[in-house]
Chains A and B, each alone.
Chain A
Amino acid sequence: MLSITIAKRQFNLDKDSVRQAVAAVLPEPITDHYVVIDGRRFPPKQVLALTTGVDRADVTTHHARRTLRRLGFTTGRKSDDSWPAPDRAEWPHGGQEAAALRPHRGRWIAQRGLEVLVSAETPQEVMAWLARHDIEGTVVFRVPVEPDETQGATGLGLW
């Protein structure tokens, strides 16, 4: 249990309460800083606001990151991202796209360049998220879990 104070209010947080608070929520767009919760990247301020109910204007990114790190979550910066995959050097993006997609296998995503902007259970959730945040220029699909899922129409018998 971690005790923190935000806007003169005291909160006692633990890892499970944070995970529960964001379980049914889609992450907002990542500007730079993020925290990883159950394989998904969230803006740290969004997570702390959801967990405590405080206005996110009362939270600094630095405070949110530090609090979530102390609870045991991994934090990072998009600007530091890299997806090294030297064993796929001959692939179109040197394996970096596969590495970026791998955490989202089985989920619907919106991708821009190599970056995954959002991942969700359904394409409708992804489309709604894109509309809500007025984001264009992405491509939407479900990341395959197994290679068979991307077999072509011949393999599917699409006649």
Chain B
Amino acid sequence: MRWPFKEDPSEPAGVPRPFVPVRLAGLSETAFLGLVDSGSPHNRFGKWVADAVGLDLGSAEESRLGLGGFQTTALTVPVELQLGEAVWQAPVSFCDPWPIGFQILGQEGFFRFFHLVFQAGSYWLECSLDG
């Protein structure tokens, strides 16, 4: 699957970035914009996403995180995620508060499952499930 980078409407102009539409498989037909972020070790989503799709976080492991300028409570559970036709199960930390307008796909929950080709000069990202 090849995904074009997302254009940034900021002023002054931002740079197109590798965002992809990720879904919670079987829970929602709506996708949530996820930044493919090699700098993040884990998947971090806003807790509002879990609330919106009715994901039960009752068995989640709770932890406190300090994330660049804000403190948040993370509830971590394994979730089936979907990107295009690819489905994989990975832990996601659902965080509240989450003052970020997108979700984050990190090393343990995304990169280790995929073969990824970044073609930043042409503004696209190619993802295929490993194995």
Contact = CB atoms under 8 A, between A and B. Distances in A.
Given A124-B52, A146-B14, 19 more contacts: A88-B13, A91-B16, A91-B123, A98-B7, A99-B9, A102-B9, A105-B10, A139-B21, A139-B30, A140-B30, A140-B31, A141-B32, A144-B8, A146-B10, A147-B12, A147-B13, A147-B14, A157-B66, A158-B40
A1 interface: no
Contacts of B85: none
| Prevailing SS type, chain A contact patch | mixed
Interface stretch (A7-15, A19-27, A41-49, A130-138): A130-138
A76 B66 CA distance: 47
Interface string B28-49: 0111110101111100101011
Nearest to B23: A139
11 contacts: A98-B8, A101-B7, A110-B30, A124-B48, A140-B30, A143-B101, A144-B101, A156-B67, A157-B67, A158-B65, A158-B68
Given A98-B13, A144-B14, A93 B7 contact: yes
A150 B35 contact: yes
Contacts of B31: 138-140
B5 interface: yes
A154 B25 CA distance: 27
Interface of A: 88, 90-93, 95-99, 101-102, 104-105, 108, 110, 123-124, 127, 130, 136-147, 149-150, 152-159
Nearest to B14: A147
A95 B68 CA distance: 30
B14 to A, nearest CB: 3
A138 B52 CA distance: 14
Contacts of B101: 108, 141-144, 149
Interface of B: 4-17, 19, 21, 29-33, 35, 37-41, 44, 46, 48-49, 51-52, 65-69, 100-102, 104, 106, 123-124
A144 B11 CA distance: 9
Nearest to B44: A158
- Nearest 5 CB-CB pairs, A to B? A142-B101, A154-B39, A153-B40, A157-B68, A147-B14
